[in-house]
Amino acid sequence: MMRRGKRVRCCITKYNNAITMIWESNILLKFLFGKCTEKETDEVNLWLSESEYNKRTLSHLKTTVSSHL
C-alpha cells in the first residue's frame, strides 16, 4: 500500500508532465502555423537540435495536422 505522501508526489509528477506535454504541443502547433514569437521560435529550434526524436516528433505532428486540414 502506498503511503499518502508518495501518492501525492506521484500525482503532482503526472500533472507536471501533462502540463509540459500540453505546453510543448501548443508551441509546436504555433510553430507549424507560423504563429510563434521570435523567442518561441528560438526555443523550438533549440528543442529540435537536441535530438532526432524531437525532430521526428515535430514531423509526426506536422503529418497528423496536415491530414486533418
Digit-coded pLDDT (tens) for 18-65: 666 666 678 998 999 999 999 999 999 999 999 999 999 899 989 988
Flag whether pLDDT at 68 surpasses 80. no
pLDDT given for residue 40 in this prediction: 92
Residue 17: which pLDDT band, with cuts at 50, 70 and 90?
Answer: low
Which range marks the domain in which residue 20 is found?
A: 4-67
Q: Does the pTM exceed 0.75?
A: no
Question: Which has the closest alpha carbon to 36: 26, 22, 49?
Answer: 26
DSSP code of residue 30: H
What's the total number of domains in the chain? 1
